[in-house]
């Protein structure tokens, strides 16, 4: 290849998503994150002699849900296989996975890159158990590591894409879109820091305009959108350089070193792998009962794209607002919950975008002390004249600080807007008496002075008087 | 008569009548154990624990709170069963010192039934063998002639029953490991239908073939023990939800009108003439009892051993991967890193036969050979299973010899693995097809060695097998002969 | 399988490593001999035409067994780790793993 040869990358991603179950794939141990080492374990997930796997029903349902959300064919019969290799974090010496007959095949995911929509094909989704964790603390005596099996047998789906991706930006967009869909579906919490979502990238390059795939390298265990982009960029450059220099790309497994910002060959995977897959004799085929898939389909939540379209078409939100509200499944759920209380999409949308999301400064909406319904209630209080917009801000500040229900806050603080003429009238009279000058001006035709007078009444009523009512009363009394 | 020579149901009668106590029966077993220690039946004995359990059983009986027909009956378990509080080695040095952190399901059921656990029994390492000579500790010997093998892999389980150091034992059968030693030691051994008894807490050899079963002095005891351990287990996905019938109810109903299949492939030239004569005589006896003999054919019999040794070793190579020195068992670490730790731990911890089978199984699954060996074997396995399906369309049970010869001499078959593997020629097909099969004494050779015959049945039809076996047993005294008196 | 040459010593050594078994030279010789004879014996399966036959991995029909997603108590740490050849903190110690 000449130095001018331009290369095109061919990329396929394998996303590993932890299924949002309470218990592990093959035993009843908790999947809770962050437990002390080897406390969420039992004889099954530590591979003691004589143990047998029993499949978690919820994991099956979530895998089917993922398949439906990604427009896959759900296979009524799928099969478990053993993937055999030795590693300390793999307690049985094999991983129970699906190989020949996965639960889902042939789907797709639409992604948006630079304003353009493209479709990435999904080859398959299969279920598998996670391995434990090898820990090599610096604190440990130099030549030792230790194993923690808390993660062992945590349920995963591996979602394998077609090699349809042509840039690192597309890869990052794919991973983001995948996370969004899986979170919408309730399949995976999408927590990248805790390892709930991670991916392997298969990257090869070929001279632009050619058809034949180059030799690929597999980059393992990438756990952020930024890293996926950086790792792939690095890998494209590395492989292109190799070929330009007349060398060959070696098929191998590489690791992204986020500190050194480079991929490097994994020593532990140097040995040519021969996983000796064969059907798992301890588990019968997974046969989905008649009607099961339809049942899951019926309860499938609205997906991001459909929700976006509905917000624009039915709720008449601007595409910009609709996009912000649907970006994250939790935010959309928060908005929907508010809307369920009070049907003023525009106002609620504004509150969520301009107040709630701004105040969150990027932290999770679940960290709030109140739920979406509270915002619906708040907007309802404004719309039915119970409180003024100004008071609403105070109620919101109270919600942020201490949570609770807007109505209860308004009641407790005595912030109910005064709409009783009998209560407002004496204040109006007092203000008029004390501001004879302004009254004269008004009568002389300087009607804009009324704003000043309204302000005084509001001030005296501590903001509780209904401004429109004050306005009317003033006009009436001044003979306008 | 020595208490140790009673059957379990005879003992139960005496216990119920207050003639003996469970402590006395346990002591009788322990004394017999001591007297026959040279037979190498046991790997671990828990004399004190057993006596305590027996005292508790006697107390329950006194309060009329006995748990059932096996309450107070001393038993022992093949060392393949995980037992909390007793060592579990599976006959292997690699598990030396391993203390199981939980009880398997069958063990739990037997404990709940009030049985007294005397100890853990010798076996071929990881259940791989047909003579008990592949034990990682010591060979077990045949009580009828200690220069001969007791069969395997449940050799210790057979010896304990035949020698009277336990009233009944549990074995496991992957290719004949219950039936062949039962035949060679003159006792009754049943391999139930695959899925009839939970495999939870049983160290796996070949997961799709392994099955737990009783080894007893007679058919009645066998039925009672099966009744105690059978049934679905929510911890074993391969255990069947099929209802468990009463195995004792129809036991005495005889074989009048029963169709007994006789497969010509199991009566071959070159088999031991005394074995043939014994089984022929048994068939004649069945005719007299009112059964009809039907010629059936199992044409793929000759391929059974080849299929078995590919399927079983492939599964074993994977099942035994967990013995890696990381979480339990004996570790050998030369200090040269992880790979060396694995290689040395497994290389030194496993005996030659286990290594040979792991090698064969790894090879049969490895890239480039998987289709030629493993898949091909699984396909022929289908043909073997179909043979039985067709045969059982014509008959209710099938009767064959269990082993082609009576007990062979220690060391006679150890140099040639294939010769040893052929000891299973009549037993492996049943495992491949998942069917139930029982071995019971059909006679004795001129030199006084027991000969066994097999009764095979349809899936989950253990009741008919037991009834057929009992009908023969009632007419002969073979099951009541004792090797040690 | 009829086309393959019988397994040679080099293949035996490779399989032994794949299975994580050290074998002495004498063991490798013996294993080569034994495996050659066993593989020659199983060649008899080639007599059968099984192209149209389905493979059996479970001989008895079994229903899919599903477990409800309900946590049950885990095993106490001390019990889990009691048999460990090398305990480091609350973990299973092993020679350092290099990735």
pLDDT tens digits, one per residue of B22-43? 999 999 999 999 999 999 999 9
The tally of CA atoms less than 13 A away on the side-chain side of residue A246 is 0
Contact criterion met (CB below 8 Å) for A274 and A86:
no
Nearest residue of A to residue B314, measured between CA atoms: A278
Q: Mean pLDDT across the stretch B296-302?
A: 96
**Inter-chain contacts counted by CB atoms under 8 A, chains A and C:** 115
* Token duo for residue A460: 């005296």
Q: Mean pLDDT across the stretch C88-96?
A: 94
**Which region, left, alpha or beta, applies to residue A115 given φ > 0 means left and ψ of -120 to 50 means alpha?**
left
Window C:52-91, CB contacts with B under 8 Å: 53-60, 62-63, 65, 67, 75, 79-80, 82-86
pLDDT, residue A217, reads 94
| Pairing relationship of beta strands A262-265 and A252-257 according to DSSP bridges | antiparallel
Contact criterion met (CB below 8 Å) for B135 and B90:
no
Query: Would the CB atoms of A54 and B90 count as touching at under 8 Å?
Result: no
**C20 pLDDT exceeds 70?**
yes
Window B:280-339, CB contacts with A under 8 Å: 314-315, 317-318, 320-324, 326-328, 335, 338
List the single residue in A46, A48, A278 with the smallest CB-CB distance to B365. A278
For residue A49, give the nearest of B328, B67, B276 by alpha carbon: B328
Task: Say which residues have a Cβ less than 8 Å from residue A421's Cβ, sequence separation at least 6.
Answer: A469, A473
Q: Residue A366's pLDDT band (boundaries 50, 70, 90)?
A: confident
Q: Residue C2's pLDDT band (boundaries 50, 70, 90)?
A: very low
Percent of chain B, pLDDT > 70?
Answer: 100
CA A337/CA A110 separation, integer angstroms: 27
In three-state secondary structure terms, B456 is strand
Q: Which residues of C touch B304 (CB under 8 A)?
A: none
Chain C: touching chains (3 or more CB pairs < 8 Å): A, B
Q: Residue B420's pLDDT band (boundaries 50, 70, 90)?
A: confident
Rounded to the nearest angstrom, the minimum Cα separation between A144 and chain B is 9
Nearest residue of A to residue B335, measured between CA atoms: A143
List the single residue in C18, C63, C96 with the smallest CB-CB distance to A274. C18
pLDDT, residue A186, reads 96
List the single residue in C18, C69, C90 with the smallest CB-CB distance to A57. C69
Q: Mean pLDDT across the stretch A271-278?
A: 84
Q: Mean pLDDT across the stretch A395-404?
A: 93
Question: In the beta sheet, which residues pair with residue A13?
Answer: A201
Nearest residue of B to residue A271, measured between CA atoms: B339
For residue A214, give the nearest of A5, A478, A435 by alpha carbon: A5
Mean pLDDT score of chain B, rounded to an integer? Answer: 97
Per-residue pLDDT tens digits for B195-218: 999 999 999 999 999 999 999 999
Q: Is C13 on the interface with B (CB under 8 A)?
A: no
CA B235/CA B247 separation, integer angstroms: 24
Phi/psi at B181 (5° precision): -65, -35
Q: Mean pLDDT across the stretch B134-161?
A: 98
Percent of chain C, pLDDT > 70?
Answer: 94
Query: Would the CB atoms of B235 and A284 count as touching at under 8 Å?
Result: no
Contact criterion met (CB below 8 Å) for A159 and A66:
yes
CA B201/CA C14 separation, integer angstroms: 33
Contact criterion met (CB below 8 Å) for A111 and A97:
no
Nearest residue of B to residue A84, measured between CA atoms: B318
Q: Which residues of C touch A21 (CB under 8 A)?
A: 69
Contact criterion met (CB below 8 Å) for A204 and A249:
yes
* Token duo for residue A153: 């047998």
Q: Mean pLDDT across the stretch A460-477?
A: 86
Q: Which residues of B touch C48 (CB under 8 A)?
A: 300, 303, 380, 383
Rounded to the nearest angstrom, the minimum Cα separation between B346 and chain C is 5
Q: Residue B129's pLDDT band (boundaries 50, 70, 90)?
A: very high
**Which region, left, alpha or beta, applies to residue A479 given φ > 0 means left and ψ of -120 to 50 means alpha?**
left
Query: Which one of A204-218, B405-419, B442-456 scores highest in mean pLDDT?
Result: B442-456
For residue A13, give the nearest of A141, A144, A203, A184 by alpha carbon: A203
| Pairing relationship of beta strands A286-287 and B74-78 according to DSSP bridges | unpaired
List the single residue in B235, B318, B323 with the smallest CB-CB distance to A54. B235
**A52 pLDDT exceeds 90?**
yes
* Token duo for residue B484: 């040690």
Q: Mean pLDDT across the stretch A38-54?
A: 98
Chain B: touching chains (3 or more CB pairs < 8 Å): A, C
Q: State the DSSP string of B119-157.
A: EEE--SGGG--SSSTT-SS----BTTBTTB---SSSHHH
Task: Say which residues have a Cβ less than 8 Å from residue A362's Cβ, sequence separation at least 6.
Answer: none
For residue A451, give the nearest of A385, A459, A393 by alpha carbon: A459
Per-residue pLDDT tens digits for B334-392: 999 999 999 999 999 999 999 999 999 999 999 999 999 999 999 999 999 999 999 99
pLDDT, residue B219, reads 98
* B354-B356-B362 Cα angle (round to 5): 100
Q: Mean pLDDT across the stretch A454-466?
A: 86
List the single residue in A91, A274, A278 with the smallest CB-CB distance to B327. A91
pLDDT, residue A464, reads 82
Residues of B labelled catalytic = 78, 153, 177
pLDDT, residue A138, reads 65
CA A123/CA B22 separation, integer angstroms: 65
**A269 pLDDT exceeds 60?**
no
Q: Which residues of A touch C90 (CB under 8 A)?
A: 36-39, 148
Query: Would the CB atoms of C97 and A274 count as touching at under 8 Å?
Result: no
For residue B392, give the nearest of B451, B435, B447, B330 by alpha carbon: B435
CA B196/CA B463 separation, integer angstroms: 12
Contact criterion met (CB below 8 Å) for A96 and A129:
yes
CA A36/CA A34 separation, integer angstroms: 7
CA A438/CA A447 separation, integer angstroms: 10
Burial of B93 (0-12, 13-18, 19+ CB in 10 A): middle
**A141 pLDDT exceeds 70?**
no
Task: Say which residues have a Cβ less than 8 Å from residue B481's Cβ, sequence separation at least 6.
Answer: B186, B441, B444
Per-residue pLDDT tens digits for A418-458: 777 788 888 999 999 999 898 989 988 888 889 899 999 98
CA B308/CA B177 separation, integer angstroms: 13
Rounded to the nearest angstrom, the minimum Cα separation between A98 and chain B is 16
Task: Say which residues have a Cβ less than 8 Å from residue A124's Cβ, sequence separation at least 6.
Answer: A72, A102, A104, A105, A106, A159, A160
Per-residue pLDDT tens digits for C70-80: 999 999 999 99
**C1 pLDDT exceeds 50?**
no
List the single residue in B237, B322, B366 with the smallest CB-CB distance to A52. B237
Query: Would the CB atoms of C91 and A267 count as touching at under 8 Å?
Result: no
Query: Would the CB atoms of C65 and A21 count as touching at under 8 Å?
Result: no
Contact criterion met (CB below 8 Å) for B80 and B124:
no
Contact criterion met (CB below 8 Å) for A148 and A38:
yes
Contact criterion met (CB below 8 Å) for B213 and B170:
yes
- Is the ipTM value over 0.90, yes or no? yes
Per-residue pLDDT tens digits for A320-347: 999 999 999 899 999 999 999 999 999 9
């Amino acid at each position: 290849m000449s130095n001018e040869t331009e290369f095109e990358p061919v990329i396929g991603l394998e996303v590993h998503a932890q299924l949002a179950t309470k218990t592990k794939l093959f035993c009843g141990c908790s999947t809770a994150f962050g437990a002390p080492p080897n406390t969420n374990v039992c004889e099954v997930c530590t591979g003691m002699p004589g143990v047998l796997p029993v499949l978690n029903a919820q994991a099956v349902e979530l895998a089917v849900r993922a398949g439906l959300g990604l427009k896959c064919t759900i296979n009524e019969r799928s099969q478990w296989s053993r993937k055999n290799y030795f590693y300390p974090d793999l307690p049985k010496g094999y991983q129970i996975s699906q190989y020949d007959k996965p639960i889902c095949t042939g789907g797709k995911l639409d992604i948006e890159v630079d304003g353009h929509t493209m479709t990435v094909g999904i080859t398959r989704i299969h279920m598998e158990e996670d391995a434990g964790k090898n820990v090599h603390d610096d604190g440990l005596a130099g030549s030792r590591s230790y194993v923690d099996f808390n993660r062992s047998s945590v349920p995963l789906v591996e979602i394998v894409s077609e090699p349809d991706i042509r840039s690192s930006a597309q890869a990052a967009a794919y991973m983001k879109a995948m996370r969004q869909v899986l979170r919408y579906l309730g399949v995976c919490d999408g927590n990248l820091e805790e390892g709930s979502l991670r991916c392997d990238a298969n990257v090869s390059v070929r001279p632009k305009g050619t058809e034949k795939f180059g030799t690929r390298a597999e980059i393992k265990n990438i756990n952020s959108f930024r890293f996926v982009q950086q790792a792939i960029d690095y890998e494209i450059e590395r492989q292109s350089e190799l070929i330009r220099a007349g060398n060959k790309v070696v098929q191998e497994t590489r690791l992204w070193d986020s500190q050194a910002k480079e991929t490097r060959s994994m020593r532990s995977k140097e040995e040519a792998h021969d996983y000796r897959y064969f059907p798992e004799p301890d588990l019968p085929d997974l046969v989905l009962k008649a009607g099961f898939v339809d049942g899951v389909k019926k309860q499938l939540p609205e997906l991001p794209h459909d929700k976006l379209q509905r917000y624009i078409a039915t709720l008449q939100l601007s595409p910009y607002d609709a996009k912000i509200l649907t970006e994250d499944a939790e935010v959309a759920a928060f908005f929907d919950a508010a809307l369920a209380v009070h049907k003023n999409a525009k106002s609620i949308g504004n509150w969520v975008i301009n107040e709630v999301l701004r105040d969150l400064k990027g932290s999770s909406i679940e960290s709030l002390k109140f739920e979406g319904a509270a915002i619906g209630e708040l907007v309802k209080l404004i719309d039915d004249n119970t409180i003024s917009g100004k008071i609403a801000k105070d109620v919101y500040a109270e919600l942020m600080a201490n949570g609770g229900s807007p109505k209860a806050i308004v009641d407790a603080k005595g912030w109910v807007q005064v709409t009783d003429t009998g209560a407002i009238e004496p204040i109006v009279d007092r203000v008029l008496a004390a501001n004879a000058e302004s009254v004269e001006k008004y009568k002389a035709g300087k009607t804009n002075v009324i704003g000043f007078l309204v302000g005084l009444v509001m001030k005296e009523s501590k903001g509780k008087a209904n401004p429109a009512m004050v306005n009317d009363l003033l006009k009436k009394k001044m003979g306008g | 008569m020595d208490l140790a020579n009673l059957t379990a149901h005879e003992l139960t009668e005496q216990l119920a009548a207050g003639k003996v106590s469970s402590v006395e029966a346990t002591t009788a077993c322990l004394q017999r154990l001591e007297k026959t220690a040279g037979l190498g039946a046991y790997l671990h004995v828990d004399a004190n624990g057993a006596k305590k359990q027996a005292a508790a059983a006697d107390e329950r009986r006194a309060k009329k709170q006995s748990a059932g027909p096996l309450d107070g009956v001393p038993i022992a378990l093949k060392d393949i069963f995980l037992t909390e509080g007793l060592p579990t080695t599976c006959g292997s040095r690699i598990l030396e010192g391993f203390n199981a952190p939980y009880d398997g399901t069958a063990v739990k059921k037997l404990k709940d039934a009030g049985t007294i656990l005397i100890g853990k029994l010798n076996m071929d390492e990881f259940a791989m063998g047909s003579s008990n000579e592949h034990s990682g500790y010591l060979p077990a010997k045949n009580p009828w002639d200690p220069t001969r093998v007791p069969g395997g892999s449940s050799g210790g389980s057979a010896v304990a029953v035949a020698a009277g150091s336990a009233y009944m034992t549990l074995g496991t059968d992957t290719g004949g490991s219950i039936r062949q030693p039962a035949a060679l030691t003159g006792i009754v051994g049943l391999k139930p239908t695959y899925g009839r008894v939970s495999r939870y807490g049983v160290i796996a050899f070949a997961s799709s073939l392994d099955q737990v079963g009783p080894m007893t002095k007679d058919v009645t005891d066998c039925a009672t023990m099966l009744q105690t351990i059978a049934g679905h287990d929510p911890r074993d996905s391969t255990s069947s939800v099929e209802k468990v019938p009463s195995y004792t109810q129809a036991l005495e109903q005889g074989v009048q009108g029963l169709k007994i299949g006789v497969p010509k492939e199991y009566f071959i030239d070159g088999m031991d003439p005394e074995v043939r004569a014994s089984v022929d005589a048994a068939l004649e006896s069945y005719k007299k009892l009112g059964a009809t003999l039907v010629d059936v054919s199992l044409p793929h019999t000759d391929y059974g051993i080849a299929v078995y040794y590919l399927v079983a070793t492939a599964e074993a190579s994977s099942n035994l991967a967990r013995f890696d020195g990381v979480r339990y068992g004996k570790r050998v670490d030369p200090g040269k890193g992880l790979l060396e730790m694995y290689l040395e731990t497994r290389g030194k911890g496993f005996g030659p036969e286990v290594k040979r089978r792991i090698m064969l199984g790894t090879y049969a699954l490895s890239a480039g050979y998987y289709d030629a060996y493993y898949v091909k074997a699984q396909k022929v396995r289908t043909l073997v299973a179909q043979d039985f399906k067709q045969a059982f369309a014509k008959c209710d049970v099938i009767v064959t010899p269990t082993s082609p010869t009576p007990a062979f001499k220690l060391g006679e078959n150890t140099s040639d693995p294939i010769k040893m593997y052929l000891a299973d020629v009549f037993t492996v097909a049943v495992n491949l097809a998942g069917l139930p099969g029982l071995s019971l004494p059909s006679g004795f050779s001129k030199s006084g060695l027991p000969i066994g015959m097999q009764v095979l049945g349809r899936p989950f039809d253990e009741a008919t097998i037991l009834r057929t076996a009992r009908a023969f047993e009632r007419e002969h005294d073979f099951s009541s002969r004792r090797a040690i008196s | 399988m009829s086309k393959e040459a019988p397994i040679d010593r080099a293949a035996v050594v490779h399989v032994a490593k794949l299975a994580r078994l050290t074998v002495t030279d004498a063991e490798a010789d013996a294993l080569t001999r034994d495996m050659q004879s066993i593989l020659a014996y199983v060649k008899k399966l080639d007599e059968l035409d099984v192209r149209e036959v389905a493979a059996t991995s479970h001989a008895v029909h079994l229903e899919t067994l599903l477990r409800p997603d309900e946590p049950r108590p885990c095993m106490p740490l001390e019990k889990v780790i009691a048999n460990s050849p090398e305990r480091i903190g609350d973990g299973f110690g092993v020679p350092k793993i290099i990735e």
